[in-house]
Amino acid sequence: MANNHTHLRLLEPEVVRGLLARLRLTHLLRRFPPRPLWALFVFINAFVSLGIMAGVGMLAHTPDIFPSLGPTAFLFFFTPTSPTASPRHAIFGHAIGIVCGYAMLVLFGLTHAPPATEVMGFHRLMAASLSLALTGALMILLKSAHPPAGATTLIVSLGIVTRPFYLVVIEIAVAALTLQAIIINRMAGLDYPLWAAKTKP
C-alpha cells in the first residue's frame, strides 16, 4: 500500500507539470497546488471520455453508453503507468470479455432471451458466472489483465447488450478511448506505451 501511495505522489506532479508545460500554462503551478490541478486533469478527461463513448454510440445508433468503459477511462487517466492501463491490456481485455460473454449466451441458448433485469434463471446465472470466470482465466493466460473487462463480460452475459453489432461497437469505443489516452498521456510527457507497457528485465 505504501508503494502505491508513493507511486501516486510521484505521478501526480509529473502528469500536471508535463501537460501544463506543453500547453504553456506552467504559471498555474505557482498559483495552485498540484493535487487540485491533477483532479481537474482527471475530471476533464473523464468528461471527454464520456463524450467519446456517447459519440460512438450515437454514430452507430446503439441504445446506450457502455458503463464498463467508465472504469477503463479512469485507469487511463488516474493510473496510466499501470500495466493494466496499457493499450494492449485494455483492447485485449475488453475483447476477451465480449467473446466470453457472448459465447456463454450461445452455450446456454440465451441470445434472444430477456435480460437478467427481467428474468434471472439458472441458465442466466450459469452464463454470467462462467463468462466472468473464463474472462479472468483468459486474461491471466494471455497476460492481458484489465479489471473493467469483468464488467463488460457481465453486461453481455446478463443480456444487457447482446446484439453482435453492438458488441463490435463496444470494442470500437475501447479503441477510441485508448487513442485519447495515448494522445493525452504522451502530451503530458508520460512514458505511456503505444501498445504494451515495458516489462522489467
When comparing pLDDT for 25 and 99, which is higher? 99
Q: Note whether residue 26 is domain-resident.
A: yes
CB-count exposure of residue 46 (10 Å: 0-12, 13-18, 19+): middle
The pLDDT tens digits of the residues spanning 92-140 come to 999 999 999 999 999 999 999 999 999 899 999 999 999 999 999 999 9
Q: Note whether residue 40 is domain-resident.
A: yes
Contacts 24+ apart (CB under 8 A), 51-56: 52/173, 52/176, 52/177, 52/180, 53/173, 53/176, 53/177, 56/169, 56/172, 56/173, 56/176
Q: Note whether residue 195 is domain-resident.
A: no
Q: Is the pLDDT of residue 8 over 70?
A: no
Cβ(146)–Cβ(89) below 8 Å: yes
As a whole number of angstroms, the distance between CA 29 and CA 54 comes to 33
Q: Note whether residue 134 is domain-resident.
A: yes
Expressed as residue numbers, the domain containing 20 is 2-187
The pLDDT tens digits of the residues spanning 50-95 come to 888 888 888 888 755 688 999 999 999 888 889 999 999 999 999 9
Q: Tell me if residue 81 falls in helix, strand or coil.
A: coil
Our count of domains for the chain comes to: 1
Q: Tell me if residue 145 falls in helix, strand or coil.
A: coil
The pLDDT tens digits of the residues spanning 141-175 come to 999 999 999 999 999 999 999 999 999 999 999 99
Q: Is the pLDDT of residue 42 over 60?
A: yes
Q: Note whether residue 201 is domain-resident.
A: no
As a whole number of angstroms, the distance between CA 12 and CA 79 comes to 10
Q: What pLDDT is recorded for position 58?
A: 84
Q: Note whether residue 143 is domain-resident.
A: yes
Q: Note whether residue 198 is domain-resident.
A: no
Q: Note whether residue 196 is domain-resident.
A: no
